[in-house]
Amino acid sequence: MQALPATIAPLAAAAIVLVVVGSGCRLVPRGGPVPQEVAEARRLSNEGLSAADQKDLGRAEVLLNRAVKSCPTDIEARRHYADVLWKRGERVEAVTQIAEALRLSPGETDLCITGGRMYLELGLLDDADRLANSAVQGSPGSAEAWHLHGEVALARGHAEEALADFHRSLAITPDAYDVLLQTAEVYRRLGRPQRSLSTLAALSESYDPQQTPGAVLALEGLAQEALGRREDALESYRLAIARGGAPLDTAQRLAALEQRPASPSQAIVAEAPSQGRERR
């Protein structure tokens, strides 16, 4: 290999030093040995994730904390540490870890989405909006980024904007359960129960007839009730409660609808044989 000219060699050496210092323990030489602190952080992270998989979140937190201390610039260690902290209810510290990870890797889409969801759940909508915007700008092809963007818009009361974002997300991942369910809910809020039902029908196609989730059945009941389909709504509410996972107010809605007398037209429909309605 030909030696570098004398005028270039010092500059190259300086550049290497800057790279090593600037990247800290994230630097892994190509073809060379992994730095000890990186190897230790990876080992601790793997053990922490294994503990988390076994639902031992206390041990997972200890191990991932050690991983972060071993290699403070390890983004993945901080991400996993934040996730465990969040699950343990240590939300301020979890957000702190994500914020530090984003400082080390600004605009990283997965970090923006994770942090945005945390801020959204905490009700910090400005911060959630900032990270959601960063996510969709950095990765316009990310279904999760558009989903988060729509959730923030919905939390701000911008239902039409949220609906547009959810459709962008579904264009990328058409069968996403959470997005389809929220899309149906937005249609219902916008006074479009028929579109809500058609969205839920598309969602139900991914389940066996006897396995439709309670949350889907409860939302079907709301849309059917809005359309004046009393008997269909009663059936959906009852199935939702029996299936489990329905919102807490489903039983109240069922009780209120049972006590409400049916209109003459509804009574006629109720007495007629049910056609085309499958037991789910």
Where does the pLDDT of residue 23 fall: very low under 50, low under 70, confident under 90, or very high at 90 and above?
very low
Percent of the chain with pLDDT strictly greater than 90: 74
Distance CA 92, CA 88 (A): 11
Class of domain 36-106: mainly alpha
pLDDT score for 25: 60
Asked if 173 and 143 count as a contact pair (C-beta separation under 8 A), the reply is yes
Query: In this structure, what token pair is assigned to residue 50?
Result: 């294994």
End-to-end CA distance of the chain: give it in Å, rounded. 73
Angle between helix axes 109-122 and 143-155 (nearest 10 degrees) is 20
pLDDT score for 273: 42
Q: Decide if pLDDT at 14 tops 60.
A: no
Where does the pLDDT of residue 226 fall: very low under 50, low under 70, confident under 90, or very high at 90 and above?
very high
Highest mean pLDDT, choosing among 3-12, 21-30, 104-113:
104-113
Q: Phi and psi at residue 247, in whole multiples of 5°?
A: -55, 155
Q: Decide if pLDDT at 144 tops 50.
A: yes
| 70, amino acid identity | S
Short-list 221, 275, 266, CA closest to 243:
221
Asked if 59 and 51 count as a contact pair (C-beta separation under 8 A), the reply is yes
pLDDT score for 46: 94
Handedness of CA 86, 89, 91, 92 (dihedral sign): negative
Highest mean pLDDT, choosing among 35-49, 50-64, 258-272:
50-64
pLDDT score for 50: 95
Distance CA 86, CA 187 (A): 31
HEC string of 247-280 equals CCCHHHHHHHHHHCCCCHHHHHHHHCCCCCCCCC
pLDDT score for 269: 44
The secondary structure element, H or E, covering residue 42 is helix 36-53
